[in-house]
A = this chain, B = another copy of it.
Amino acid sequence: MKLRSDNLRKTYGFDEISLSPSSIKTVDPNLCNVSSTLASYKLKTPLMASAMDGVVSPKSAIELGKQGVLAVLNLHGLWTKYEDAESRLKEIAEAKDNEFVSLMQKLYTAPIKENLIGQRISEIKQGNVPVAVSSIPQDALKFESLIYLAGADFLFVQSTVTSLEHIGSGESLDIAKLCNKSKMPIIIGNCVTYNVALELMKTGVSAILVGIGPGAACTSRGVLGIGVPMATTIMDCVDARDQYFHETGKRIAIIADGGIINSGDVCKSIACGADFAMLGSLFAKAQGAPGSGYHWGMATPSPVLPRGTRVKVGTIGTYEQLIHGPAALDNGFHNIIGALKTSMGTLGAKDILEMQKTEVIIAQSILTEGKVYQSAQKLGMGSRS
Residues of chain A touching chain B, judged by Cβ–Cβ distance below 8 Å, are 1, 3-6, 8-13, 15-28, 30-31, 101, 160-161, 163-169, 191-196, 199, 212-214, 219, 221-229, 231-232, 235-236, 238-239, 262-268, 271, 273, 302-309, 325-328, 330-332, 335, 338-339, 342-343, 345-348, 350, 359-364, 366-372, 378-380
Checking B20, B191, B328, B364 against A193 with a beta-carbon cut-off of 8 angstroms, the contacting residue is B20
B362 near A101: Cβ-Cβ < 8 Å: no
Within the complex, the shortest CB–CB distance from A118 to chain B, in Å, comes to: 30
B17-A264 in contact (CB<8A): no
Contact A335 B380 (CB under 8 A): no
A3–chain B nearest beta-carbon distance, Å: 5
The answer to whether B330 and A227 have CB atoms under 8 Å apart is: no
5 pairs of residues in contact across A and B, judged by CB atoms under 8 Å = A8-B17, A15-B364, A27-B168, A31-B167, A222-B368
Specify the chain B residue showing the minimal Cβ separation from A226.
B19
How many angstroms between the C-alpha atoms of A238 and B4 in the bound complex?
9
The listed residue (B13, B31, B332, B342) touching A222 by CB distance below 8 A is B332
On chain B, the residues within 8 Å of A21 by CB distance are 161, 191-193, 196, 212, 226, 228
Q: Are B369 and A262 within 8 A (Cβ)?
A: no
Evaluate contact between B305 and A222: CB separation under 8 angstroms. no
Cα-based distance from A239 to B367 in the complex (angstroms): 30
Q: Nearest B residue to A307 by beta-carbon distance?
A: B330
Which among B4, B9, B15, B30 is the interface contact of A362 at CB below 8 angstroms? B9
